[in-house]
Amino acid sequence: MSQQHDLEPEQQDLEPEQQGLRPGQQHAAEAEETYLEVWGDTVSSKHLLWSILMGVGFATTVFLTAQWFFGTIGVDESMVGSYSLLVGLAACVAVAVVCARLFKPKRSLVETDAGSDSRESAMDAIEAEVGPIGDPDEFPAAVLEEVKMLGLYDDFKQRHERKQNEPAADASSAAPSSATKEGDK
């Protein structure tokens, strides 16, 4: 394991000198670290391999030991497999907890101020996918409560009012042109 992975996440972005290392002292293996995406999460291939080996090794050993143990203490022959399987599954959970503690996540979360432009683009995408959103006051009570809880009610209301005013503005600009056409007849 490289020295940088032993540091807290805040220290990982520091220069080697700031971490207490001499320049060039970082491991060459760190530069070669590969990451994989598994079930939507980023993992180190080395840590994934260790986790698999630990899980298979420990859980299999515990399962086989439990099978031997339950067989020797006189448990009904038909139940030995079931009890052993339960103990093996408990061992899998225990190894998962240990591996989660040993191998911390490799992802970096970056928070940005979303602003109103991103909300507008998100609402545009929603309307493009499912059609007009409509008046938020007409939402079902549970949906309306959730929209208010998320702080989106005002955005939905403003968008609905703006959409209602747009056709009126288009109609008023179109009305004089149609009136002149009627007068020309």
Burial of 182 (0-12, 13-18, 19+ CB in 10 A): exposed
pLDDT score at 3: 39
Query: Cα angle vertex 28, ends 25, 33, to 5°?
Result: 130
pLDDT, position 128: 87
Do the Cβ atoms of 98 and 111 come closer than 8 Å? no
Give the position of tokens 């497999």.
81
- Residue that wins the pLDDT comparison between 172 and 112: 112
Higher-pLDDT residue of 40, 78: 78
Percent of the chain having pLDDT more than 70?
Answer: 67
pLDDT at 178: 47
Instruction: Read off the tokens for 105.
Output: 């996540």
Question: According to the model, what pLDDT value does residue 57 have?
Answer: 95
Q: Cα torsion at 72, 75, 77, 78 (round to 10°)?
A: -150
Give the helix/strand (H/E) hosting 102.
helix 77-102
Tell me: pLDDT of 22 over 50: no
Say whether pLDDT at 109 is over 60.
Answer: yes
- C-alpha 74: how far from its chain's center? 48
Lowest mean pLDDT among 39-43, 61-65, 127-131, 179-183: 179-183
pLDDT for the residue numbered 9? 47
**Residues 83-106: tens digit of each pLDDT:** 999 999 999 999 999 999 998 877
pTM: 0.44
